[in-house]
């Protein structure tokens, strides 16, 4: 598929045709692979990413050492942080890391401002995107504040499975612990407990979710 078809495929039904053409004309497609850092904390943001394929995880860095996963973004989403940063010319407060390989369309911010005035569907998209992120943030906070680690872990596994479109998660206990800002031993024990409950199956370097898709 060429660039235009990809963009049309992703945003058909969200934007009017005219806007999609403008996006296709202005966007620069950037492929990424798992582990790539797309946005680093403290960096200024000059282009806005629209996700075409793949998934990206949004991480927050903790006070001293350690990270915390806030949420994933998927196809058709954008990073709400970018929107805020662009408007205020501020540094990024978050880090974006590719969860798996995929493709983003990078759009210059000045175009985005122009579209804000020009297209209703774009405004709606931006607002809805904000709303989604806000809700995900709220639920992330709920998890942190009210859930125990075993529930957070299960929740994390399901999210990870969802964005990867599979029930097999190729992560080590270490990596998972890092993203949940916990220690490896705790994760190992909880994973084993989950395995005993029959909710997951443990192999080396990958974890199988049992149960319903999505």
Phi, psi of 94 (to 5 degrees): -130, 170
Give the nearest distance from C-beta 6 to DNA in angstroms. 33
Q: What is the DSSP string of 88-105?
A: HT-B-SSEEEESS-EEEE
Q: What size, in residues, is the chain?
A: 214
Q: Which is nearer to DNA, 124 or 185 (CB)?
A: 185
How far apart CA 191 and CA 207 sit, in angstroms, is 9
Do 3 and 24 contact (CB within 8 A), yes or no?
A: yes
Q: Which is nearer to DNA, 166 or 188 (CB)?
A: 188
Q: Which of 110, 135, 139, 205 binds DNA (CB under 7 A)?
A: 205
Give the nearest distance from C-beta 156 to DNA in angstroms. 15
Q: Which is nearer to DNA, 29 or 202 (CB)?
A: 202
Q: Which is nearer to DNA, 1 or 148 (CB)?
A: 148
Contacts (CB under 7 A) with DNA, residues 171-190? 172-174, 183-186, 188-189
Q: Which is nearer to DNA, 116 or 185 (CB)?
A: 185
Q: Which of 69, 191, 194, 200 binds DNA (CB under 7 A)?
A: 191
Number of residues that bind DNA (CB under 7 A): 14
How far apart CA 180 and CA 140 sit, in angstroms, is 11
Give the nearest distance from C-beta 182 to DNA in angstroms. 7
By CB under 7 A, is residue 55 in contact with DNA?
A: no
Q: Which is nearer to DNA, 6 or 68 (CB)?
A: 68
Do 103 and 54 contact (CB within 8 A), yes or no?
A: yes
Q: CA separation (Å) from 201 to 5, 105, 173? A: 39, 37, 13
How far apart CA 7 and CA 87 sit, in angstroms, is 24
CB contact set of 150 (below 8 Å; sequence gap of 6+): 190, 193, 194
Contacts (CB under 7 A) with DNA, residues 118-177? 172-174
Contact positions toward DNA, by CB under 7 A?
A: 172-174, 183-186, 188-189, 191-192, 202, 204-205
């Amino acid at each position: 598929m060429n660039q235009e078809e990809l963009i049309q495929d992703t945003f058909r039904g969200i934007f009017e045709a005219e806007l999609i053409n403008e996006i296709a004309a202005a966007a620069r497609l950037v492929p990424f692979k798992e582990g790539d850092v797309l946005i680093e904390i403290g960096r200024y943001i000059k282009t806005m990413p629209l996700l075409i394929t793949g998934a990206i995880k949004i991480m927050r860095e903790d006070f001293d050492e350690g990270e915390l996963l806030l949420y994933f973004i998927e196809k058709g989403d954008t990073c709400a942080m970018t929107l805020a940063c662009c408007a205020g010319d501020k540094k990024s407060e978050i880090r974006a890391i590719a969860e798996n390989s995929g493709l983003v369309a990078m759009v210059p911010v000045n175009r985005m401002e122009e579209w804000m005035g020009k297209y209703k569907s774009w405004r709606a998209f931006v607002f809805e995107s904000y709303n989604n992120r806000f809700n995900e943030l709220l639920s992330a906070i709920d998890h942190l504040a009210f859930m125990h680690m075993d529930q957070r872990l299960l929740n994390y596994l399901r999210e990870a499975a969802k964005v990867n479109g599979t029930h097999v998660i190729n992560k080590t206990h270490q990596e998972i612990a890092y993203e949940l800002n916990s220690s490896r031993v705790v994760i190992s024990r909880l994973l084993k407990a989950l395995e005993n409950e029959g909710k997951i199956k443990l192999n080396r370097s990958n974890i199988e979710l049992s149960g319903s898709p999505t």
